[in-house]
Amino acid sequence: MDEELLELQRQFEFAQQAKSTVRLSERNVVELVQKLHQLQIIDFDLLHTITGKEYITPEQLRNEIVAEINKLGRISLIDLADSTGVDLYHVEKQAQHVVSHDSSLMLINGEIISNTYWDTAAEEINERLQECSQIAIAEIAGQLQVGSELVVSILEPRLGTLVKGRLEGGQLYTPAYVARVNAMVRGAARGIFVPMNTSALWNTLQSLLQEMDGAVGVAVDASFFQSLFNGLVKEGEILGSLRAGVHWTPSVFAMAQKDCVDSFFSQNSFITYDAMQKLGIPQPSQFLQSRYPDGISLDTAYAHPSMIEMLDAAVEDAIERNSWIDSLSVLPASLGSQDAFKILSLCPSVQAAQKSNRALILGDSYIFSNGFVKDLFDRIEKEMETLSIPGLAGAGPVDEFRVAKDAKVGYDSSEVNETSSDAGMSKQASEKGSKKKKGKSSGNSKMAQAETGADNQESVPSKSKKGQKKGKVSSGSQAADSKSGARKDEDSLGAISEEWVIQKITSLNPDFEEQGMDDPEMILLPLARHLRPLLVNSLKERRKAAFTENAQKMKKLLDNLQKKLDESFLNMQLYEKALDLFEDDPTTSVLLHKHLLRTTGTSMIDTLLLNLDMHNKLKNGVPVDPQNLESISLSPGDRSALAKSLPRVLSAKAIATVEALEGKRVESFMSALREVAEESGLALKKLDKKLERTLLHSYRKDLTSQISAETDPVSLLPQVISLLYVQVHGKALQAPGRAISAAVARLKDKLDDSAFKTLVDYQSGTVSLLALMSAATGDEEDCASDRILTKRELLEELIPALKGLVLSTSQSQT
């Protein structure tokens, strides 16, 4: 057998050494290999080398890779590609195959590393560690040119075997160094007697180590200290409790805490949470509940059940005496009102009294017996009947008007209502008719004084048909009135404020202040807040009763107002028609318009405002005492105040009417008056031909009767002028003294010469008489009196002629 092998070997060597007679080119070889692949004679993969002159199988490539790894232990894929002469792509692919089939190899960051390499590296690290006592993982990673995480994963399974040390917080320590630091941690922890944050302790130890090791020392991570500390606690070498991983409380401090809490709680039957926190107990309520399960957890303290028994006895005594008690006066000063309320709610006597409605808790800490509160309510309610509270005290329209007039300028309607409701009004009637006005001192002053003297004389009566029907109140007026009424109701109820109730409580019970309380309102305010709704409800009931009583008065008041307005408005329309005669004379027209507004218009608006104001008060339940409103005369400021006191929509229209009264045109006033009447639900009847004839006839008859009975020569002239205009023009003229001359001049074409001369002479004599009366002053008074008497006698002689003129004119017109 051996001889045969040797023979074959010699033949193979001879064949190799023999020179071929036929040589193939590289191209032919490549084509030959490709052909063999196509014929599947070569049925395995072939890889080209980088030079393209060699083929290599994948298996051979893997063998070469493994050989390189075994030789070096760590090699990069790029180096493998260079050493094998194969493209990097094929090297990576075969390297992954090798690593996947060999657990002792790893492919990391383009390098294949074997466990042998790591074992060698671990031995080197251990040698260095024993020399330096500590090494940073980052430093090792930098030397090995790998990541720190990889170094940690490699070192952890070799700790205690190849590497004699401890890995903690990115550092490698020798056992001796760990024991040294462990001793430092144990000593520092045993020296702590108060709660401390371990982070501060580790910073101190770290500074100490750096001082000991000098510049070569590596900074020790806090987690290393914490790990050693946790181990010491677990082994029982240091005693205490660790909360949230960083808050250390030594057992000696915890024992002192408990002894202090037990001592205070046993002596005082309570302890505040603030005191617990000062002792270093972060969750005092849970601590006390676990230690004293029978105690009571309050808002600011923890109390013993005996605290309830003590307060219960005091409260029961106060309820039996129909009195009140401040629980804070019985409880310790450290407890607050919320604590007192909670203890009160746990008292058996309080629970029983609240169920039987014998007591109530006010202001958290005050408990009042119902008998005490009811007696106080009855006394305040009785005083309300005699006090001037808006909406209760009876007031007449004149008294209320005075209060409104005295109010400050710029108030709104609610302020007027509130002011007028607070007190009565006093009468403010302006003198009218008898006053003489003085004219200017220059020019024809005597004539101006004489004409002005007769300006405001009420010489002409006015009548109209009665019994006009009252209009219906519009829905808009009702809505506005209801809103205004509600607002006024709130204003009047708001007068019973908490301050007012507190004042009454203090006056009826001086004990609250006599007890020497630092702040009496602390008890008075809760009591006032409890009593005020009761007093307001009582007031509402009384106002409701007053409103029912006022309903009949409101109906009667509106009926009377409708009658008065019917008569006055018809007269106003009648007098307005006479103004058309003077439209061509602007000066006289303005005088006539103003005179009609000041006389008839003023009377109408005063009557309307006073009656609407009284109706508004009756509607809101204010008991007013109706008076004779016709005798009341208002000033412009008074009218504005009353207009603003009405409900909002009505108030705006009433103010517009008052402004129109101060204007120069009767038409504007009449239009505004119609709007106010419509808003108030009153109907103003329009003057038709039939009513006009009836009123003129009655007016003429009354004038004739007055002229026949008149003996005063001055008062006779305007009556005669008015009657002549009725006879001549069929118009009821109301002329002031300054317009008499113009009125007389208008009659020139309507009277014969003798009659007109008589009228002119009488008018001139009247003017002269009034001028003498106006100029009579001082030392010349006796002399002037003689001249006045002479002039009056002359006028009296002309009276029969003047009366005869009127009668003759009447007969001629007839």
**C-alpha span between 404 and 410 (Å, rounded):** 12
- CA angle 647/648/650 to nearest 5° reads 70
pLDDT at residue 252 above 70? yes
**What pLDDT digit, counting tens, does each position of 89-132 carry?**
888 888 888 888 888 888 888 888 888 888 888 888 888 888 87
- DSSP for residue 19: P
Q: What does residue 49 show for φ and ψ, rounded to 5 degrees?
A: -80, 175
State mean pLDDT over 442-463. Answer: 36
**What pLDDT digit, counting tens, does each position of 497-541 carry?**
778 877 777 777 777 665 545 555 677 788 888 888 888 888 788
688: tokens are: 């038709």
Q: Looking at per-residue confidence, does 720 or 447 come out higher? A: 720
Residue 172 bridge partners (DSSP): 135, 167
328: tokens are: 């804070």
**What pLDDT digit, counting tens, does each position of 471-489 carry?**
433 444 444 445 545 554 5
**C-alpha span between 400 and 634 (Å, rounded):** 13
If you compute the radius of gyration of the chain from its CA atoms, what whole number of angstroms results?
Answer: 60
Among 404-408, 640-644, 711-715, the minimum mean pLDDT is found in 404-408
Q: Looking at per-residue confidence, does 96 or 222 come out higher? A: 96
**C-alpha span between 457 and 434 (Å, rounded):** 7
Helix 636-644 × helix 413-422 angle, to 10°: 100
What pLDDT is recorded for position 514? Answer: 55
Contact 85, 49 (CB under 8 A): yes
Instruction: Quickly state the pLDDT bin for 467 (edges 50, 70, 90).
Output: very low
State mean pLDDT over 247-270. Answer: 83
Amino acid at 3: E
pLDDT at residue 397 above 50? no
Residue 491's contacts (CB-CB under 8 Å, 6 or more residues apart) are: 390, 414, 417, 418, 421
What pLDDT is recorded for position 587? Answer: 85
- CA angle 651/653/655 to nearest 5° reads 70
What pLDDT is recorded for position 574? Answer: 82
**C-alpha span between 36 and 610 (Å, rounded):** 133
Contact 75, 69 (CB under 8 A): yes
pLDDT at residue 455 above 70? no
Max avg pLDDT among 195-209, 312-326, 746-760: 312-326
Q: What is the number of residues in the chain?
A: 814
Instruction: Quickly state the pLDDT bin for 26 (edges 50, 70, 90).
Output: low
**Following DSSP, what letter does each residue of 301-327 receive, concatenated?**
EEE-THHHHHHHHHHHHHHHTT-EEEG
**What pLDDT digit, counting tens, does each position of 690-720 carry?**
888 888 888 888 888 887 877 787 788 887 8
CA–CA distance from 504 to each of 9, 511, 532 (Å)? Answer: 139, 13, 11
Q: What's the predicted TM-score (pTM) here?
A: 0.41
- C-alpha dihedral sign at 17, 19, 25, 31: negative
State mean pLDDT over 282-311. Answer: 87
**C-alpha span between 459 and 482 (Å, rounded):** 43
Q: Looking at per-residue confidence, does 450 or 297 come out higher? A: 297
Q: How far is CA 382 from the centre of its chain?
A: 37
Residue of 325, 301, 294, 295 lying closest to 311 (CA atoms): 325
What pLDDT is recorded for position 410? Answer: 32
CA–CA distance from 764 to each of 611, 714, 734, 749 (Å)? Answer: 43, 11, 20, 19
pLDDT at residue 763 above 50? yes
Amino acid at 735: A
- C-alpha dihedral sign at 226, 228, 234, 238: negative
Residue of 256, 253, 290, 288 lying closest to 269 (CA atoms): 288
- C-alpha dihedral sign at 167, 169, 170, 176: negative
pLDDT at residue 376 above 70? yes
What burial class does residue 382 get, using C-beta atoms within 10 Å of its C-beta: 0-12 exposed, 13-18 middle, 19+ buried? exposed
Contact 196, 248 (CB under 8 A): yes
What pLDDT is recorded for position 466? Answer: 37
Instruction: Quickly state the pLDDT bin for 413 (edges 50, 70, 90).
Output: very low
Average pLDDT, the chain: 74
SS3 for 520-578 is CHHHHHHHHHHHHHHHHHHHHHHHHHHHHHHHHHHHHHHHHHHHHHHHHHHHHHHHHHH
CA–CA distance from 608 to each of 102, 413, 569, 633, 642 (Å)? Answer: 118, 18, 11, 12, 10
Q: Looking at per-residue confidence, does 749 or 65 come out higher? A: 65
What pLDDT is recorded for position 797? Answer: 67
**What pLDDT digit, counting tens, does each position of 31-45 carry?**
677 677 676 777 667
Amino acid at 766: T
Helix 337-346 × helix 306-320 angle, to 10°: 80
603: tokens are: 């009377």
pLDDT at residue 453 above 50? no
Q: Looking at per-residue confidence, does 467 or 284 come out higher? A: 284
- C-alpha dihedral sign at 252, 255, 259, 260: positive
Max avg pLDDT among 203-212, 219-228, 326-335: 326-335
Contact 180, 208 (CB under 8 A): no
- DSSP for residue 629: G
List % helix, strand, coil for the chain (3-state, nearest 5): 65, 5, 25
What pLDDT is recorded for position 422? Answer: 34
pLDDT at residue 545 above 70? yes
What pLDDT is recorded for position 411? Answer: 31
**C-alpha span between 56 and 46 (Å, rounded):** 6
What pLDDT is recorded for position 781? Answer: 56
pLDDT above 90 covers a percentage of the chain that reads 0
pLDDT at residue 777 above 60? no
**C-alpha span between 774 and 96 (Å, rounded):** 138
State mean pLDDT over 615-631. Answer: 68
Among 35-39, 415-419, 498-502, 596-600, the minimum mean pLDDT is found in 415-419
621: tokens are: 């339940």
First to last CA, the chain: 188
What pLDDT is recorded for position 369? Answer: 86
**C-alpha span between 69 and 71 (Å, rounded):** 5
Contact 632, 399 (CB under 8 A): no
What pLDDT is recorded for position 700? Answer: 82
375: tokens are: 């007696």
Q: What does residue 540 show for φ and ψ, rounded to 5 degrees?
A: -60, -40
**What pLDDT digit, counting tens, does each position of 305-359 carry?**
888 888 889 888 888 888 888 888 888 888 888 888 888 888 888 888 888 888 8
Instruction: Quickly state the pLDDT bin for 775 (edges 50, 70, 90).
Output: confident
pLDDT at residue 660 above 70? yes
